[in-house]
Amino acid sequence: MEHFWKRAAAETLLAALCTTVFSLFALALFAVFVRAYAPTELTILIVNQILKGAGIFLFSLLFVRRERALFKGAAAGILSLIFTTLLFGAIGGFHLTFYFPLELVLGALCGGLGALCGGKLRKE
């Protein structure tokens, strides 16, 4: 049982860290687009959520294994959003909005679904 918890923590942390790095690069590239084209604030918010959700789904799909995948993927999604928020806060100042709890729920759903899909697609 102890081996399971170590492996689960490693899978969850790996997925969260990879998602955080992906989010940093993807949102930095999107920031260049924002400076060039000045889209509306709603567009920025939606693209931001799509990029984070896609990263959470993708890296949960890739790194989380079968056993209790839903919970590990959800934890990876929540962790990655916390890491991303802390990193962006350290870079540009903290700007938590009332959307953050909703973002955590959506991150948990994306992570859980990605991990479930990865478990179904992977032959172990």
The DSSP secondary structure of 43-73, one letter per residue, reads HHHHHHHHHHHHHHHHHHHHH--STTHHHHH
Predicted pLDDT of residue 112: 95
Decide: 47 and 101 in contact? Cβ < 8 Å: no
The fraction of the chain above a pLDDT of 70, given in percent, is 98
Which residues are CB-neighbours of 104 under 8 A, at least 6 positions away?
Answer: 78, 81
Q: Does position 11 have pLDDT exceeding 80, yes or no?
A: yes
Decide: 13 and 83 in contact? Cβ < 8 Å: no
Which residues are CB-neighbours of 12 under 8 A, at least 6 positions away?
Answer: 64, 72, 75, 76, 79
Local confidence band at 22 (pLDDT 50, 70, 90 cut-offs): very high
Question: Which residue is it, tokens 């590990």?
Answer: 72
Local confidence band at 116 (pLDDT 50, 70, 90 cut-offs): very high
Predicted pLDDT of residue 89: 84
Q: Can you tell me the mean pLDDT for 83-101?
A: 84
Please provide the average confidence, as pLDDT, over all residues in the chain. 90
Give the start-to-end residue ranges of the domains of the chain: 2-121
Which tokens sit at 103?
A: 């973002």
- Return the number of other C-beta atoms located less than 10 Å from residue 2's C-beta: 6
Local confidence band at 124 (pLDDT 50, 70, 90 cut-offs): low
Q: How far, in Å, CA of 55 to CA of 26, rounded?
A: 9
Predicted pLDDT of residue 79: 96
Backbone angles phi, psi at 65, to 5 degrees: -90, 180
28-67 per-position pLDDT tens digit: 899 898 888 888 989 988 999 999 999 999 999 999 987 8
